[in-house]
Structure formats: structure tokens, C-alpha cells
Amino acid sequence: MYSSRGRTLLYTMMALSMGASSLKAMADESDLYKFLWLDPDKKVYVLQNKLYKKSKTIYAQLGYVSNLSGEYQDTTGINFRSGYYLNEEWAIEGFYNSYSNKNNDAYDNLQRINQSVPFIRRLTSSYGLMGIWSPFYGKINTFNKIIYFDWSFGLGVAKIDTESNKDTVSDPNLSSTFQAESYTGAVAKTGLRIHASKRWFIGIDLQRSMYKAPGPVINGEASTTKLRGTTDAILSVGFSF
């Protein structure tokens, strides 16, 4: 037989045990709710389940190019690119850019103030081939709408066609004329593919081309050939099939 003090201690322990069980059950129900809210099967990896598959698909994009590297030129253009995804992460992509150029305010001010013409090398076109790696994908909820995206990186080779006034710009007795040039270089990019539907998507890319080219001819001597670069921001619309 339990004493009065023993019975009181026993009842207290039972009450505490029942309270702890109740709290544990409430915690389990709360955790279960959280998992059910994310996914009925409680498999966290399903949160990143791919809705838009890329493996074994061909895609094409048409876009607007804004060059970010022209010191004395406003350079814009048109971009076309097409590629094939070997699997969900790796693709082969070819691209072509066509550019148009016009003198910007820095060029006009230099002429008005110093009555001089700067050395200019401007893009006319570029094309190349890249390997594309797409390791990241995800989704965000914006204004109660889920947006799916892929984030990729590219690296490859490119042919860069330019024109420059390097042969005449330093001679005051000659008018500044542009001569066509062509260089082979490397190209790298990073970009987002934002899915609008199963087939259509929006592309946002930042593409960097690197090549070796000489500077202006001064006193009949060519400048040292240096590594030079140009950066394009590209906004495009794409179709996958």
C-alpha cells in the first residue's frame, strides 16, 4: 500500500508524464503539418522536383544585346543561339551576335572639347560554340504565382569580328578610317532560364568574350598585343522542343 505522500508523488509523476506525452503529440502534429504543407509524402527532395525537363531537348533563342564595354560607342545588337541538352545538366550551344554602333556622348564631348578622335575598336559580329552546365534549378513564389528557373554556366571558343581606327587615329594628317579585323578568343557566360510554359522561356545572360588584339599604331610602330575583353547583356525569348 502506498502512503499518502507516495500516492501524491505517483499522481504527480503520472500527470507530468501525460503532459509530456501531450506536448510531444502536439509537436509531432505541428511537424507533420509542416511536412504535409510542403509535400504530402513528407519527402523534402520533392520540393525541388523538376517540372520542366531539359534532357534530350533542342532549344532556340532570339534576343536583344546591349554591350557593356564600349567606352566611346553605344553598341547594341541581335543574338541568336541554339543548343541541345545531352542530359539535365549538360548541353552544347552555338551562338551568333550581330552588332550596330554609334558614337556616344563621351565621343562627342571629346571632339568638341579637344578636337580629337579617340582610338576605337568596335564589334561587328561574333559567333562561337560553348559547353553549357546547368547545376542549379529552383522555384520562387511571387505574387501567388510559382516561377521556375534554371541557372547555367557556359565556356567555349568564339570568333570576334571588329573594326578599328588603329592605323590612322594617331596621324593628324589622316582622316580616321576603320579597318575590318578578326580574332579568335574564349567566351564564357552565366544565365538564367525562366520558364513561362512547357515550351517557352525567357533568357537573361551575361556573356564575356576575351581575345588578344593590338592597340593603335603610333609613329609607325604597332602597339603591344594585349588581352582584351567585351561583355554583353542579353535578354531573349526561347523555345524548347
More confident residue, 191 or 144: 191
User: Do residue 38 and residue 55 come from a single domain?
Assistant: no
Residue 45 buriedness (CB in 10 A; 0-12 / 13-18 / 19+): exposed
Do 63 and 237 meet the contact criterion of CB atoms below 8 Å apart? yes
Neighbours of 187 (CB within 10 A): 24
Question: Could you tell me if 112 and 225 lie in one domain?
Answer: yes
Same domain, 34 and 94: no
Regarding whether 116 and 61 lie in a shared domain, the answer is yes
Closest CA to 52 of 158, 198, 167, 211: 198
Q: For residue 126, what are the β-bridge partners?
A: 97, 160
What is the reported pLDDT for 195?
96
Mean pLDDT, rounded, for 175-203: 95
Is-above-0.85 flag for pTM? no
For residues 100-112, average pLDDT:
93
Q: Name which of 194, 69, 181, 85 is nearest 132 in CA terms.
A: 85
Based on the fold, state whether residues 14 and 61 are members of the same structural domain: no
Q: Model confidence at 33, in pLDDT bands (50, 70, 90)?
A: very low
Taking only the tens place, the pLDDT of each residue in 36-70 is: 555 555 554 444 567 899 999 999 999 999 999 98
Q: Which of 37-46, 98-107, 142-151, 182-191 has the lowest mean pLDDT?
A: 37-46
First to last CA, the chain: 82
Q: Kindly state whether residues 10 and 95 are assigned to the same domain.
A: no
**pLDDT single digits (tens) 191-233:** 999 999 999 999 999 999 999 999 998 887 878 899 999 999 9
CATH of the domain at 150: 2.40.160.20
- Whether 71 and 188 map to the same domain: the answer is yes
Structural domain boundaries enclosing 172 = 51-240
Least confident of 42-46, 117-121, 141-145, 223-227: 42-46
Nearest to 78 by CA among 60, 94, 96, 93: 96
- Report the pLDDT value the prediction gives residue 229, as an integer from 0 to 100: 95
* Alpha-carbon distances, residue 20 vs 11, 14, 23, 25, 31 (angstroms): 14, 10, 5, 9, 16
Task: Verify that 208 and 118 share a domain, yes or no.
Answer: yes
**Domain identity same for 13 and 102:** no
Q: What is the total count of domains within the chain? A: 2
Query: Which grid coordinates are listed for 97?
Result: 551576335
Cα angle 107, 111, 114; round to 5: 120
More confident: 142 or 240 = 240
* Same-domain status, 130 and 147: yes
* Positive/negative CA dihedral, 18, 20, 22, 24: negative
pLDDT digits (tens, 9 = 90+) for 13-32: 454 444 444 433 333 334 44
Q: Are residues 134 and 151 in the same domain?
A: yes
130 and 214 together in one domain: yes
Tell me the average pLDDT of the chain.
84
